[in-house]
Chains A and B, each alone.
Chain A
């Protein structure tokens, strides 16, 4: 089939998808998304996609159930953005998966500086001094919750180290009270960590142990980990765990807060989005593997707005999808 006809079909498909509001395939100029791994959204429906394969960020807005592409953000320091967040002031911060730096975007869409951690406890056993962020979220007070190798590091807005939470995680979600939920794709485990902000301090070093200020209650997904709770005898760490059916979360790679106090988990290898209550009970499982609208293929980061619209970086399908509340 001649390439010109193919291009026309592609545009028609893209346009129709944009009007339907189910998926977005490219920016305002029609340049296709490529392996987008990250997405961030505000309660009001502003969306920013980390278009990883194209080394840029693309803004969208949700209007009348349609994703309308907006500005494109690209500059050299952005690198290869894999994760993105929007803070309480509307500023965008992205994680460059190559340099492993948190990059601020200025109001004008340019380079706004790096978030450089200070006072970070060094770990001699790790590479690069033990700073290798793989994901992050912005929590209350615009603190950064950075998923590092075998820990979550909490930094204030300026990058100053506040505390850390030990454990191997793939992603975290933080609610308005500072309660942290973490997911580990390798083991299928879902953690609920209740942060005690009055007790800041350094976490215990070994995996599974938590800081004196952070009590971990392990809620597990899948049967890989039957859930001996984290804890080394620290007071207030309850034993036991909650198991979910393996089919629900084969390889949970990303987590986000959802309305109604729920959690949304992107099941990367299971090609689905799982909604759970905060005690780990599965509420629903949405989508399934596929290439058409409404299906996902190796989903990445996800986020939810106040209405409950779930935005998913549908990485394997090179698009952004939005799932409206049922």
Chain B
């Protein structure tokens, strides 16, 4: 009797998909799309869904972040050099429709539009750029799931990835063997307003070719280190060196510690974002700010040169001005005059050689406490000078 009941519950071969469609009639439209997920096409809805009961939404037979990998086991290979976050986190439906779509692989938004859903800044920049990477889509260079060998989901490492398409590079670079160099050191692979997709700020000699700095047919330079830079920038360098405080990279003639010799996304050929360039030596300062309760915009935005001269200064800590009030006042103008009494006429009660200024109460790179206060509360700060109010 029991066996009979069990056998009567079994579906006839090929009937499971049709059974689901008998209620879920909207799926007929999905089935009409050009690209249909195989289980749906084969009518095996139970490949992903439990037809009776489920602990998961949409009657999925497993957790939403794991149901796909029951079949697609190697989307993110073990030990991948880089992995796309949605793939690594099992959020496959961020890009794929699990049932059907108009694009191959059931991609919801094919091409750049799909990537733009998240990578808006990058794709907007690409759209606005005058010189785009022609005939290349995102997945031309990037694997949308993971890369075994390269960062940033690249399908290969530089320069091999670029050289796979771009032949005859040496001839285009004054005969220099650039096919062994790092292409993105000069070119923006996503597009640029500069010809040849050069990065936005181009070193002027580069516009004349490579011969100003490089030996003919060689990556070797005509002079070594700072001596090469000095050939054009002698006046500037001399002026910078004629100061009581000279930034160590300049003192060492290590211009390339901060500057890119060919092109850069940043003005002044600064090698990268200031937080990274300055932070390569001053990591302690950047870290202190990152942990700060209150953020100081020049530091947060990587505008170190708002306060510090990156080359040299007559002032300690390479500050651009000797007077802290005037320096801070370039942004905080109101606090120069509508504030706690400050200025050269007001002595600091804690130290007779100090005047009360901005740095008497604030630390510009951040503290664990609010308002760049070096003490936990304002009261604790105030009573350092006004002990009569200490409780």
List residues of chain A with CB under 8 Å of any chain B CB: 1, 3, 6, 9-11, 13-14, 17, 25-26, 32-35, 37, 52, 80, 82, 97-98, 124-128, 130, 132, 134, 149-150, 168, 170, 186-187, 222, 224, 246, 250-251, 269-270, 289-292, 298, 315-319
Contacts of B347 in A (CB 8 A): 6, 9-10
Main secondary structure of the interface of A (DSSP, over half): loop
Interface of B: prevailing SS: mixed
When the two chains form their complex, are residues A149 and B245 in contact, meaning their CB atoms are under 8 A apart?
Answer: no
**A3 in contact with B352 given A150-B252, A251-B284, A269-B284 (CB within 8 Å):** no
Q: Report Cα–Cα, A317/B282, bound state, in Å.
A: 22
Question: In the assembly, what is the distance between CA of A298 and CA of B315, in Å?
Answer: 13
Shortest CB distance A268–B (Å): 9
Residue of B nearest to A26 (CB): B353
Cα-based distance from A187 to B279 in the complex (angstroms): 11
Q: Which residues 301-346 of B have a CB within 8 angstroms of A?
A: 316-317, 345-346
Sample (30) of A-B pairs whose CB atoms are under 8 Å apart: A1-B346, A6-B347, A9-B349, A10-B352, A35-B316, A98-B244, A124-B224, A126-B225, A127-B237, A127-B250, A127-B253, A130-B253, A132-B251, A132-B252, A134-B251, A149-B252, A149-B253, A150-B252, A186-B248, A250-B284, A269-B285, A291-B348, A291-B354, A291-B360, A291-B384, A292-B351, A298-B316, A298-B317, A317-B351, A319-B351
Question: Whole-angstrom distance between the alpha carbons of A132 and B227 in the complex?
Answer: 14
Contacts of B345 in A (CB 8 A): 3, 6
| CB of A166 to closest CB in B, whole Å | 12
Docked Cα-Cα span, A6 to B346, in Å, equals: 8
CB distance from B296 to the nearest CB of A (A): 16
For B284, B285, B346, the residue with the greatest tally of chain A CB atoms inside 10 Å of its CB is B284
Contact present for B351 and A318 (CB under 8 Å)? yes
Residue-wise interface mask of B (230-255) relative to A, using a CB-CB cutoff of 8 A (1 in contact, 0 not): 10000001000111111010111100
Question: 3 smallest A-B Cβ distances: which pairs?
Answer: A125-B225, A318-B353, A10-B352
Q: Which residues of A contact B108 (CB under 8 A)?
A: none
Residue on B nearest A128 in the bound complex, by CB: B241
- Give 1 or 0 for each of B278-297: 1 = CB within 8 Å of chain A CB: 00011111000000000000
The reply to whether the CB of B350 lies closer than 8 angstroms to some CB of chain A is yes
- CB neighbours (8 Å) of A289 from chain B are 374
Contact in complex: A292, B350 (CB < 8 Å): yes
Q: CB of B38 within 8 A of chain A?
A: no
User: Which residues of A are found within 8 Å of B360, using beta-carbon distances?
Assistant: 291
Q: Show the binding face of B for A, using Cβ within 8 Å.
A: 223-227, 230, 237, 241-246, 248, 250-253, 281-285, 316-317, 345-354, 360, 374, 384
If A134-B248, A149-B252 touch, does A126 touch B284 (CB 8 Å cutoff)?
A: no
Q: A37 vs B317: C-alpha distance in the bound complex, in angstroms? A: 12
Measured between C-beta atoms, what is the minimum distance from B4 to chain A in Å? Answer: 73
Given known contacts A124-B227, A168-B252, A25 and B352 CB-to-CB distance under 8 angstroms: yes
* A291 and B352 contact, Cβ closer than 8 Å, known pairs A125-B227, A126-B227: no
Which among B230, B242, B253, B350 is the interface contact of A98 at CB below 8 angstroms?
B242
Residues in A with CB closer than 8 Å to B284 are: 222, 246, 250-251, 269-270
Which of B243, B345, B352, B360 is most buried by chain A, counting CB atoms within 10 A of its CB? B352
Neighbouring A residues of B227 by C-beta, 8 Å: 124-127
Q: Which residues of B contact A14 (CB under 8 A)?
A: 352
- Which of chain B's residues have a CB closer than 8 A to the CB of A13? 351-352
Q: How far is the CB of B263 from chain A (nearest CB, A)?
A: 23
B390 to chain A, nearest CB (A): 14
Shortest beta-carbon distance, A301 to chain B, in Å?
Answer: 13
Best-buried of B245, B251, B285, B353 by chain A (most CB within 10 Å): B353
Shortest Cβ distance from residue A169 to the other chain B in the assembled complex, whole angstroms: 10
Measured CB to CB, the nearest residue on chain B to A11 is B352
- B384 — which chain A residues lie within 8 A by C-beta? 291-292
Of B223, B244, B251, B348, which is within 8 A of A80 by CB? Answer: B244
Q: Are A291 and B245 in contact (CB under 8 A)?
A: no
Bound together, the chains give a CA A57 to CA B282 distance in angstroms of 31
Known: A35-B316, A134-B251. A127 touches B353 (CB 8 A): no
Q: Are B226 and A97 in contact (CB under 8 A)?
A: no
Assembly CA distance A80 to B244 (angstroms)? 7
Residues in A neighbouring B253, C-beta threshold 8 A:
125-127, 130, 149
Q: Are B352 and A9 in contact (CB under 8 A)?
A: yes
Which residue in chain B gives the minimum CB-CB distance to A6? B347
Cβ–Cβ contact B241 & A315, under 8 A: no
Beyond A11-B352, A127-B226, A269-B284, list 6 extra A-B contacts (CB 8 Å): A1-B346, A35-B316, A82-B244, A124-B225, A132-B251, A291-B354
Which residues of B have CB within 8 Å of A315? 316
User: In angstroms, how far is the closest chain B Cβ from the Cβ of A195?
Assistant: 23
**CB closest chain-A residue, reference B234:** A127
Which residues from chain A contact B285 at a C-beta distance below 8 Å? 269
Q: For the complex, what is the distance from the CA of A269 to the CA of B374, rounded to whole Å?
A: 14
Q: Which residues of A contact B243 (CB under 8 A)?
A: 98
Which of A150, A251, A298, A319 contacts B353 (CB under 8 A)? A319
Tell me the complex Cα distance, A34–B283, Å. 28
> Quick one: closest A residue to B250, CB to CB?
A127
Could you tell me the distance between the alpha carbons of A187 and B257 in the complex, rounded to whole angstroms?
A: 14
A69 to B223, CA, bound (A): 51
Contact of A127 among B230, B248, B281, B346 (CB under 8 A): B230
Distance of A191 Cα from B351 Cα, bound (Å)? 35
Query: Are B224 and A316 interface neighbours, CB within 8 A?
Result: no
- When distances are taken between beta carbons in the complex, the residues of chain A under 8 Å from B248 are 134, 168, 170, 186
CB–CB B244/A125 < 8 A? no
A98-B242, A125-B224, A186-B281 given; A149·B251 CB < 8 A:
yes
Q: Report the separation of the CA atoms of residues A239 and B34 in the bound assembly, to the nearest whole angstrom.
A: 63
Q: How far is the CB of A76 from chain B (nearest CB, A)?
A: 15
A250 CA / B316 CA spacing, docked (Å): 18
- Which residue of A is nearest B349, CB measured? A9
A261 to B351, CA, bound (A): 33
Q: Are B241 and A291 in contact (CB under 8 A)?
A: no
**Least Cβ–Cβ distance between B339 and chain A, in angstroms:** 16
Tell me, rounded to whole Å, the shortest Cβ–Cβ distance linking B373 to chain A: 13
Residues in B with CB closer than 8 Å to A134 are 246, 248, 251
Bound CA–CA A253/B225 (angstroms): 25
Q: Which of B226, B242, B245, B317 is in CB contact (< 8 Å) with A126?
A: B226
